[in-house]
Amino acid sequence: MKRYPLVIGLALLSGCASPGFRYHTLQPASDTAQMSSPRYRVRLTVVQIPAEVDTEQLVVRASNNTLTREPVDRWAAPLTDEIRGALDDAWRRDYGVEDVQNGADASYSIPRVGVQVQKLDATLASHVELVANWWVASGDGAAAKSWSCQRVIVEPAQGGIDGVVNAQQRVFAALAGDIATGVIAMASHQVPVCPMR
Cα gap 72→78, rounded to integer Å? 15
Coil, strand or helix at 138:
strand
Task: For the chain, give every domain's residue range.
Answer: 23-187
Comparing CA positions, the residue from 133, 135, 145 lying closest to residue 108 is 145
**108 to 52, 87, 133, 161: CA distances (angstroms):** 34, 21, 22, 41
CATH architecture, domain 23-187: 3-Layer(aba) Sandwich (3.40)
pTM of this prediction? 0.85
Mean pLDDT of the region 19-41: 82
Residue-level pLDDT at 141: 74
> Could you tell me which residues are beta bridge partners of residue 68?
60
State pLDDT tens for residues 48-63.
999 999 999 999 999 8
Coil, strand or helix at 74:
strand
For residue 21, the 8-state DSSP code is P
Mean pLDDT of the region 112-123: 97
Residue-level pLDDT at 1: 47
**Per-residue pLDDT band at 33 (split at 50, 70, 90):** low
Mean pLDDT of the region 119-144: 91
Asked if 129 and 154 count as a contact pair (C-beta separation under 8 A), the reply is yes
Cα torsion 97, 102, 108, 109 to 10°: value is -30
Asked if 160 and 60 count as a contact pair (C-beta separation under 8 A), the reply is no
Coil, strand or helix at 93:
helix
